[in-house]
Chains A and B, each alone.
Chain A
Amino acid sequence: MQKQRPKHLDLTVIRLPLPGIVSILHRVSGVALFLSLPLLIYLLAGSLSSAEAFDSYRAVVAHPLMKLVLIGLMWAYLHHFCAGIRFLFLDVHKGLELETARATAKVVLGVSLALTVVLGVFLW
C-alpha cells in the first residue's frame, strides 16, 4: 500500500484517547513499581520485624514525605492491577468494541483513583 496517510506523531499536537492514557499509565506505574521493589520488600520486612524494630519502622512510615510516596505507590499498584485486568480481558477478545473499550478505560482510571483517595485518607 503506497498511500499517503496523515501522520500526527508530534507529541505536543496529538491527543491521546482515554484507553491510550490508561495504557501509558500502566507502563509508567509498572516502571515505578519496578524501581520501588526494594522499598516494598523493606515495608514487608518492617511490618514483620521484632517489637523494638517495629517502633522505629512505624516512625519511618509515619513521616509525611514517606506517606506521600506510599500513596503514590498505592495508586501505581491499583492502576496497574485494574488496567492489567482490563488488558487480560482484551487479550481474550472481551470488550474490544470501541464503546466498551472506552467505558472500561474510564472505569479503570476512575476506580484506581477513587480507591487511592479513599485508602489515602484512611491511612493518613
Chain B
Amino acid sequence: MVNRIVVGAGYGLRDWVMQRVTAVIMALYTVALVLFLLTAPSSYEAWQSFFKSTWVQVLTQTTIVALLLHVWVGIRDVWMDYVKPVGVRLALHSFTIVWLASCFIYSVKVVWGL
C-alpha cells in the first residue's frame, strides 16, 4: 500500500504517454517508408525526387522530432535506473540533451537539403 500525497506533479504520466504516442508515429513512418521502398523503382533518382517533395520532408522532420522526444524519455529512464550519483547523472542528462539537440540541427540540414 502506497500512501502518497498527490500534490499536482505529473508522476511521469505525460512522459509515459509521449513515449507511446511518438512510438506509434515512428512505426507508421517506418511502414510507409518500407511500402515506398517495396513499390518504387529502386534508383538514385527516384529516392532523390521522393525526398525533394515537401510533404515527405515535413513528415520526415516531424517523425525525427517524435524520435528525439522518444529517445529523451527512454535514455533518461536508463540513466535514472542505473546511475545513482547525482553529479554523474546530471552530466549524463546534459550530454543527452546536447547530443539530441545536435542531432536535431543536423537532421534539419539533411532533410531540407540546406
Contacts and interface: CB of A to CB of B under 8 A. Distances in A.
Interface stretch (A12-20, A38-46, A93-101, A106-114): A38-46
Interface string A70-81: 000000000001
B36 interface: no
Contact of A38 (B24, B47, B102, B111): B102
Contacts of A47: 47
Interface residues of B, number: 24
B75 interface: yes
Interface string B53-93: 00000000000000000010011001000000000000000
Nearest to B47: A47
Nearest to A84: B23
B110 A48 contact: yes
B27 A85 contact: yes
B48 A38 contact: no
B27 A81 contact: yes
Contacts of B96: 34
Interface string A13-36: 000000000000001001101100
Contact of A41 (B23, B48, B103, B113): B103
Interface of B: 20, 23-24, 27, 30, 44, 47-48, 51, 71, 74-75, 78, 96, 99-100, 102-103, 106-107, 109-111, 113
